[in-house]
Structure 1
Amino acid sequence: MNSGLSTVALPLALAIIMFGLGLSLTVGDFARVARHPKAVAIALVCQLILLPAIAFGLVLLFDLPPLLAVGMMLLAASPGGTTANLFSHLFRGDVALNVTLTAVNSVIAVVSLPLITNFALGHFAPSDGTGSLGLQFAKVVQIFAIVLIPVAIGVWVRRAWPAFADRMDRPVRIGSAVVLALVIVGTVIAERENVTGYLADVGLITLIFCILSLSIGYVLPRRLGIASRQSIASSMEIGIHNSTLAITIAISLLNSTRIAVPAAVYGVIMFPVATAFGWLITRGRGDEQRPAAPSGSSTDRDLDPAAG
């Protein structure tokens, strides 16, 4: 991919998305973990342990080429984002729990994402010939910079100017979706000669992974006694990944557009799949079946985290 795009445009796009995420967070969102430890713990186990294990099994089952296999593991290690919060709101999930999970996951990902990605690189592509793959300390610092610093600035802006943050909530969400679309389109254009082959390689596996992610995120919490609204939140958080983060790391830090392909494909399919899944699990819930009208973050924060 064009060096200017990979070194400037992609990190900038991700920084905008993460800043928008920060605008939706407060310090209290992190503190909420102590009030709802079981729901948070189950979701984090799904995100940090089960999803990488499932992705690893699918990669072996489908016998993916090495760099696409690494891309699947990178995708599995990527946390959720603001889009997960929106889908949770649409399907009457506990958005307050979503916000908490997004906040905690964004912090943990600075450590977990390099660990999982480096494991995948060592296992699937130990001698790919590029000589430049791997997330060493300097690159981990870059991940910290492009993930946490914009989030921290967004949290500070919300604390200093809450009315401004509320007004910007909807435009930032829309802008984030547009940025994600542009990132995916840019990745596809960069690999246009191989698009058909990549779809054949990762189209089915990403679809299966998306369905499994959403299903596990909902079924496991329900089986362990978590309320329906919180389980919906968990499902959306676990099933809707931050594809922009995965693509940015693949292209800007690992210098490989090929590794970015699974995240780009997933970024396309996760929206219709999440919509269908949300409809399926809420269609028998009476009034809660109807999707909520879009609203700003102030409405989201009015939702009772303990309800459900």
Structure 2
Amino acid sequence: MSTVAVVLLLVASMLAVGTSTGVPEFRALLRRRGLVAAAVVVNVLVLPGVAVALVTAAGLRPEVALGVVLAAAAPGGGTGALLTLHARGDVTVSAGLQVLLGPLGLVAVPLWAAVAGHSVVAPGAGGLLVVGGGLAGQVVPLAVGMWLRRTRPPTADRVHRVARRAADVLLAGVVVYFLVTGIGRLPQVGWAGVGVIVVLVVASLLPVFVGWGSPAQRRAVAMTSGVRNLTLGLFFATAASPTVVLALLAYGLVMYGLCVPAAWALARSPAVPTRS
């Protein structure tokens, strides 16, 4: 998939979230320190740690194991907040976590890769610019959307409708892309590798049922944790073998294959309060 499509999806998703979220909600998020801390621990420590343990226990090939660990260690995927919006979760929690987890992923990914026995530190300032651009792609449209909501609510409503439709179309395109490019190549990853990925994605969605906060907050943590930052993972995989990239694509296929239906099912469930 072209870089342009990925960037547009990121921008549209965060603009849709920003135009439905206000500054007071973010201030309230700062008071939920226990919830935020738990979500950070799950994303930065627990899920990558479980990934390292599973790929070791399953005896996966080194390249496949590295691809799985890179995906599991990369938190803050750009469509987590969009799926939270669809799942009728607390978008403030999801958007705030994305902004927080993005920078943490820059440190978490190479560290967990090192724990798994690989060095993936990208050379040169160009790589940092790519990652920095990805962070800006989250923060800037989110800030613009929040500004519109605060100063021009009617405009914010119109922008929200357009941005959400655009994000939905682009998300569908991403899912189709992973299906077309990945499903026929899953045997190359190995069914043990696919099984490990399924376990990790399912585990990342467990906060829907177990965790702190209100049901809406737990939905936000689950959707945000379920969608990994595959762009960041692919960035660190640029110097690795094609098998590593294939494992990342397989993770994306399983991830969207499970997270999108989960968000759809939650959207059809009874409404939940956004505050505990």
Superposition TM-score, scaled by structure 1 size = 0.69
Could you tell me how far apart the structure 2 residues matched to 1:135 and 1:27 are? 36
Any idea what the Cα deviations from partners look like across 1:3-22, whole Å, max 9, x if unmatched?
xx5xxx22x22322232233
Q: Which runs of 5+ in 1 are unaligned?
A: 128-132, 280-288, 293-302
Q: 1:164 to 1:135 in 2, by over 3 A?
A: farther
2:99 is matched with: 106
Say what the alpha-carbon RMSD is for the aligned residues: 3.3
2:171 is matched with: 180
1:87 shift after superposition: 4.2
1:193 shift after superposition: 6.6
Q: 2:57 aligns with which of 57, 61, 73?
A: 61
Q: 1:44 aligns with which of 40, 50, 63?
A: 40
Could you tell me how far apart the structure 2 residues matched to 1:36 and 1:198 are? 40
Q: Which runs of 5+ in 2 are unaligned?
A: none
Where does 1:278-289 land on structure 2 (aligned, <5 Å)? 278=266
Q: Which moved more, 1:101-110 or 1:189-198?
A: 189-198
Q: 1:79 aligns with which of 57, 76, 79?
A: 76
Q: 1:30 to 1:66 in 2, by over 3 A?
A: farther
Instruction: Please state if 1:13 is matched with 2:5.
Output: yes
Q: 1:39 to 1:251 in 2, by over 3 A?
A: closer
Q: Give identity over the alignment, percent.
A: 20
1:237 is matched with: 224
Instruction: Please state if 1:202 is matched with 2:198.
Output: no
- Alpha-carbon contact 1:55-1:72 (below 8 Å) kept: yes
Matched residue of 2:166: which SS? helix
Q: 1:252 to 1:46 in 2, by over 3 A?
A: closer
Could you tell me how far apart the structure 1 residues matched to 2:141 and 2:264 are? 31
Could you tell me how far apart the structure 2 residues matched to 1:140 and 1:259 are? 23
Any idea what the Cα deviations from partners look like across 1:191-231, whole Å, max 9, x if unmatched?
6773333362433222211221222453132xxxx344433
Q: 1:18 to 1:99 in 2, by over 3 A?
A: farther
Q: Which moved more, 1:212-221 or 1:250-259?
A: 250-259
Could you tell me how far apart the structure 2 residues matched to 1:266 and 1:306 are? 27
Q: 1:142 aligns with which of 110, 115, 130?
A: 130
Any idea what the Cα deviations from partners look like across 1:22-56, whole Å, max 9, x if unmatched?
32224444322333222222222222222222222
Q: 1:116 aligns with which of 95, 108, 125?
A: 108
1:137 shift after superposition: 6.2
1:148 shift after superposition: 2.4
How many equivalent pairs are there? 259
Could you tell me how far apart the structure 1 residues matched to 2:124 and 2:145 are? 29
Any idea what the Cα deviations from partners look like across 1:126-153, whole Å, max 9, x if unmatched?
38xxxxx533463233212123245313
Any idea what the Cα deviations from partners look like across 1:214-255, whole Å, max 9, x if unmatched?
22453132xxxx3444333333332x314xx41x33445632
- Alpha-carbon contact 2:93-2:221 (below 8 Å) kept: no
Matched residue of 1:52: which SS? helix
1:118 shift after superposition: 1.2
2:253 is matched with: 264
- Alpha-carbon contact 2:84-2:224 (below 8 Å) kept: yes
1:166 is matched with: 157
Q: 1:117 to 1:136 in 2, by over 3 A?
A: farther
